[in-house]
Amino acid sequence: MNVGPSFLRTREGAEAISTAAPTIDLREEREMALQTEAKKLAEEALASSWTPGVFPVDPIAIAADLGVNVYSAFIGEDVSGMLRQEPGGVPEIFLDAYEPPVRRRFSCAHELGHFIRHASGDQAIAFVDYRGPKAKNGTDPEEVFANAFAANLLMPPKVRGRPLGLEARERL
Question: Rule CB under 5 A: which residues touch Zn ion?
Answer: 129, 143, 146
CB of 58 to Zn ion, least distance (A): 20
Q: How far is the CB of 45 from Zn ion (least distance, A)?
A: 17
Residue from 103, 109, 92 nearest 131 by CA = 103
Q: How far apart are CA 132 and CA 40, in angstroms?
A: 30
Query: Which residue has the closest beta carbon to Zn ion?
Result: 129
Q: How far is the CB of 143 from Zn ion (least distance, A)?
A: 5
Which residue from 21, 44, 35, 8 is spatially nearest to 156, judged by alpha carbons? Answer: 44
Shorter beta-carbon distance to Zn ion: residue 9 or 79: 79
Residue 83, classed as helix, strand or coil, is: strand
Choice between 39 and 55, CB closer to Zn ion? 39
Q: How far is the CB of 95 from Zn ion (least distance, A)?
A: 12
CB closer to Zn ion, 96 vs 129: 129
Neighbours of 125 (CB within 10 A): 19
Query: Quick one: 17 or 135, whose CB is closer to Zn ion?
Result: 135
The three-point CA angle 137-69-128 to 5° equals 20
Q: How far, in whole angstroms, is CA 41 from its chain's centroid?
A: 10
Which residue, 62 or 80, has its beta carbon nearer to Zn ion?
Answer: 80
Q: Residue 136, Cα to own-chain centre: how many angstroms?
A: 13
Least separation in angstroms between CB 77 and Zn ion: 17
